[in-house]
């Protein structure tokens, strides 16, 4: 094992997020602009071989432990099981974040290819509201995808819910009940300034304290010791599962964050909210050796800021929306 990938503030990075496509089959108003996006051409995307190479470099030299494949919507990437199979040759845990629409028919294949865990995003359990948010009438497909993922053994199945004041904050208890009834872990995520229409405001954020208090008043909770994961976790006192709350805005966890990201077009990002990217694609395609790739990675991580700065007067939101960066 080589040296650790450490930034100026002593944070060790062991969790890699890779966006495999910028395309999505939803037109969610909170992650995609109303006019849509100009999709990347196939040749602009990192190939499976390039993704595997840079992942291997990070694993062999810096001890990366887990890789999460994201999008856009990653299940839209042709032959995705082949990439998962290639990555499964490395000593890592492989996870996937998806909107779940294609899982009913693909969950078993993904699991058989080497996928270990899955996160499924769904921001409403009400059919009409789901359609308003995603501009597609596919809630039943997502629910079926959740069930298929559980049957395929992609454990734990986690449900990602971005809580937005006045939009879906009245469904917090509904989601808690959904998780308890189906044996899945619901992760409530504070609304972050990565919305495509750039209308985010602090007033739209439903805080960790609010979410916890509401659920705790109905289903009493107790704290689970926090690690490097983005979510603060709580178990139900009656033993019927747990929840997570990602408080990126109100209780930032930058001092323990161990995540780095690579976009679908091969740009390395040292923070979800970074305004600077480091080009890996050009380097990978110029046939430079692994040592030079390591130099780029180390320089990028060393330039990571102390914190994301949300709420500061000098905060500048990223030029890309969540659908282009990957979760």
pLDDT tens, residue by residue, 16-74: 999 999 888 776 655 655 555 677 888 999 999 999 999 999 999 999 999 999 988 99
Spatial distance between the Cα atoms of 94 and 65, rounded to a whole number of angstroms: 9
Q: Give me the pLDDT at residue 161, please.
A: 97
Q: Give me the pLDDT at residue 272, please.
A: 83
Question: Hey, is 163 helix, strand or coil?
Answer: strand
Tell me the Cα Rg of the chain: 19
Spatial distance between the Cα atoms of 106 and 146, rounded to a whole number of angstroms: 11
Q: Give me the pLDDT at residue 106, please.
A: 97
Q: Give me the pLDDT at residue 254, please.
A: 83
* Positions in the chain short of pLDDT 70: 1-2, 27-37, 194-198, 309-327
Q: Please provide the CATH number assigned to the domain covering 15-158+254-325.
A: 3.20.20.70
- Exposure b/e, 133-153, CB count within 10 A at least 16 = b: bbebebbebbbbbbbbbbebe
Q: Give me the pLDDT at residue 200, please.
A: 74
Q: Give me the pLDDT at residue 94, please.
A: 98
Q: Give me the pLDDT at residue 275, please.
A: 80
Q: Give me the pLDDT at residue 100, please.
A: 97
Q: Give me the pLDDT at residue 305, please.
A: 86
- φ, ψ for residue 171, nearest 5 deg: -105, 10
- φ, ψ for residue 174, nearest 5 deg: -60, -40
Instruction: Note the helical H segments in the chain.
Output: 48-62, 80-87, 103-113, 127-134, 139-151, 172-182, 208-218, 281-285, 290-302, 322-325
> In sequence order, what are the beta bridge partners of 160?
121, 187
- How buried is residue 53: exposed, middle or buried, by Cβ count under 10 Å (0-12/13-18/19+)? middle
């Amino acid at each position: 094992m080589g040296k650790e990938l450490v930034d100026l503030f002593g944070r060790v990075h062991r969790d890699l997020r890779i966006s495999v496509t910028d395309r999505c089959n939803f037109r969610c108003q909170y992650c995609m602009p109303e006019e849509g996006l100009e999709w990347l051409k196939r040749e602009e995307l990192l190939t499976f071989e390039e993704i595997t190479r840079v992942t291997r470099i990070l694993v062999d030299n810096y001890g990366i432990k887990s890789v999460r494949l994201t999008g856009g919507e990653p299940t839209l990437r042709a032959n995705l099981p082949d990439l998962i199979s290639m990555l499964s040759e490395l000593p890592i845990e492989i996870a996937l974040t998806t909107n779940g629409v294609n899982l009913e028919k693909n969950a078993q294949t993904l699991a058989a290819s080497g996928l270990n865990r899955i996160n499924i995003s769904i921001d409403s359990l009400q059919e009409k509201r789901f359609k308003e948010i995603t501009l597609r009438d596919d809630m039943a497909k997502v629910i079926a995808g959740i069930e298929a993922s559980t049957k395929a053994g992609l454990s734990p199945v986690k449900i990602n819910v971005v809580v937005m004041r006045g939009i879906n904050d009245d469904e917090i208890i509904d989601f808690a009940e959904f998780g308890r009834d189906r044996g899945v872990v619901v992760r409530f995520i504070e609304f972050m300034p990565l919305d495509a229409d750039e209308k985010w405001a602090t007033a739209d954020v439903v805080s960790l304290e609010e979410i916890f208090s509401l659920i705790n008043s109905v289903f009493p909770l107790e704290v689970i010791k926090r690690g490097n994961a983005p979510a603060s976790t709580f178990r139900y006192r009656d033993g019927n599962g747990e929840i997570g709350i990602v408080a990126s805005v109100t209780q930032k966890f930058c001092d323990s964050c161990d995540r780095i990201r690579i976009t679908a077009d091969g740009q390395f990002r040292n923070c979800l909210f970074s305004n600077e990217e480091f080009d890996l694609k050009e380097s990978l395609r110029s046939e430079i050796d692994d040592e030079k790739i390591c130099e780029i990675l180390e320089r990028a991580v060393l330039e990571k800021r102390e914190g994301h700065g949300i709420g500061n007067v000098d905060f500048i939101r990223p030029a890309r929306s969540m659908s282009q960066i990957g979760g």
